[in-house]
Amino acid sequence: MSKAAVDLNNLPYADGDFYGFEQLLSEKERERLQEIRDFLAKEVKPIAVDCWNRGEFPMELIPKLAEANLMSPVRNQGYSNVFAGIVHAEFTRADASIATFMGVHDGLFTGSIEALASEEQKAAWLPDIYAMKKIGAFGLTEPLGGSDVAGGTRTTAVRDGDNWILNGAKRWIGNATFSDWVVIYARDLADNQVKAFMVDTKLPGYTATKIENKISLRTVQNADIVLDNVVVPHEFKLAGANSFRDTNKVLKVTRLAVAWQAVGQQLAAFDVARRYAVERQQFGRPIASFQMVQDQLVQMLGNTVSSMGMMVRLAQLEDQGVAKDEQSALAKAFTTARMRETVAMGRNLLGGNGIVTDYEMAKIFADAEAIYSYEGTYEINTLVTGRAITGISAIV
């Protein structure tokens, strides 16, 4: 069998959608999905590995993303949550770093404004945000605070007349080295509650320093932020953000997006591994002809399909307005655990070629580690789910 004997693009399951979940989409949504896939194939895939290797963000891509009208497909364009989830998976399939950029700007940052700002604040800020004329970041995680920020951030806010004074530090803040704005979550010393503030990154006392030496999502510009007596006018305090319970309204939705990323990362690994297995010749034939290789490919597919099935159902519940926090937690924990297995098998199938980015799998393998960790660790999401099914909290 020659390597040209199989045309992967003409196989019945060329898109990896083994159970036909995309058939649940409307005709309009399927057409739009194809447009987005074409955009990603033209504008994102060709530059993804090079940007990752250099650890640089392609700023020239932002106007193209804006022109493609990819912001807020559910909230602004009337599409379903199933469609929005599959789109986010497709972004990740093309490049997890660009998917994360969109997840920060369109999900965490824009989602904070949509969920927690007043109508007047939305009217003032959202047009430029939707048009991507202003890029945002989301400042919650801190150098000494990750999973425990629900108990109170160390970054503080003090009311001073018509202003708020912010002091503290944030870490792992995506987009923060070049963003125009960042939503900073800080603890109000007057009532010990977490509030949110729209901070102009040009304000005195605000600094953002790129985090170097990452092995995952290298294209994403994560930063350490320092807030040294940053003065924020009261009208830039998000009106609806007055406790961490309000913050969780944003995190519930974005946790779903990360679970969809886990689906996309598995699709990416499956794409690369299947093509490699068909084209790679050993012992005079493609390695795809060996039973153990087919077994691993099927395991990868099974993980991917089970993850997608969970996410499609959860998106349907979200469309119905009945999805629960613990369902998002289970989805994030389950899909990212399966993702870790899937990308590891994919890397194994490529052998030595699986550890260099030339074949893409090394990048997919490394990026999965960040997806596994952010938006709530596996352990925390497991305990959130465990509390829901037992009525007993195991979280200190």
Residue type, 310: M
- Of 46, 38, 13, 40, nearest to 360 by C-alpha is 46
Average pLDDT, consecutive stretches of 10 residues, N- to C-terminus, the chain (396 residues):
64 86 95 96 97 97 94 77 95 97 94 94 96 96 76 89 97 96 96 95 98 97 98 97 84 86 98 96 94 97 97 95 93 97 98 96 98 90 94 88
- CATH code linked to domain 247-390: 1.20.140.10
> Rounded to the nearest 5°, which phi and psi values hold at 209?
-120, 125
Ordered by start, the domain boundaries in the chain are 8-116, 136-244, 247-390
Domain 247-390 in the same topology as domain 8-116: no
In the prediction, which pLDDT does 3 show? 46
State the sign of the Cα–Cα–Cα–Cα dihedral 19, 22, 23, 24: positive
> Rounded to the nearest 5°, which phi and psi values hold at 193?
-105, 150
For β-strands 163-174 and 206-210, DSSP reports them as: unpaired
- CATH code linked to domain 8-116: 1.10.540.10
CA distance 135 to 253: 20
CA distance 89 to 259: 9
In the prediction, which pLDDT does 76 show? 66
| Phi and psi based region of residue 116 (left: phi greater than 0; alpha: psi -120 to 50; beta: remaining) | alpha
The vertex-184 CA angle with 332 and 87, nearest 5°, equals 40
Residue type, 238: L
CA distance 56 to 221: 8
The CA distances from residue 86 to 10, 34, 303, in Å, are: 21, 11, 16
- Of 282, 288, 270, 276, nearest to 350 by C-alpha is 276
Q: Which residues contact 20 (CB under 8 A, 6 or more apart)?
A: none
Name residue 157's beta-bridge partners.
Answer: 166, 188
Right CATH for 136-244 from 3.40.50.300, 2.40.110.10, 3.40.50.20, 2.60.40.2470? 2.40.110.10
State the sign of the Cα–Cα–Cα–Cα dihedral 137, 142, 146, 151: negative
In the prediction, which pLDDT does 363 show? 98
For β-strands 285-286 and 193-200, DSSP reports them as: unpaired
Say if residues 103 and 340 touch (Cβ distance below 8 Å).
no
Q: SS3 for 72? A: coil
